[in-house]
Amino acid sequence: MPQTIHTGIKALIDEANAEIETVAAADAIKIAHNDDVVIVDIRDPREIEREGKIPGAFSCTRGMLEFWIDPASPYAKPIFQQDKKFIFHCAGGMRSALAAKTAQDMGLKPVAHMGGGFAAWRDAGGPVEKVEPKKPKG
């Protein structure tokens, strides 16, 4: 029997976008190097290796976000304990909207997401850093 989804991804993204700040890529480019801003790349490592990354961005896969934000978690990352503005981005702006809403709901502030994601950053002329694939251990 097929599942009946009551709240689809479009509704979740619309709800997130209604509750979070969206920063345009052109504006993100202007503030990315400010000391009080952290650009958080929530894309999968394979996406980052394939497309490159925003120089200085902090990589945090979407699956570890809540664990890395919560200071009580054994996986907490010090970067999320700082008094800075966190601007989340993904490839196109959908996952980052959900991530920013989750972070905001957890109490992280201030947070935003970059509308249009990495594609918008690249299209707006933002710098992109090539990332070499990690070598397997062994």
- d(C-alpha 46, C-alpha 58), whole Å: 15
The pLDDT assigned to 14 comes to 97
Which pLDDT score is estimated for 138? 66
The whole-number pLDDT of residue 132 equals: 85
Give every residue of the chain whose pLDDT is below 50, as ranges.
none
Which amino acid, residue 88?
F
**Confidence (pLDDT) at 135:** 77
The reported pLDDT for the residue numbered 133 is 81
pLDDT value at position 24?
98
Whole-structure pTM over 0.85, yes or no? yes
**CB-based contacts of 32, cutoff 8 Å, min separation 6:** 39, 54, 56, 57, 87, 126
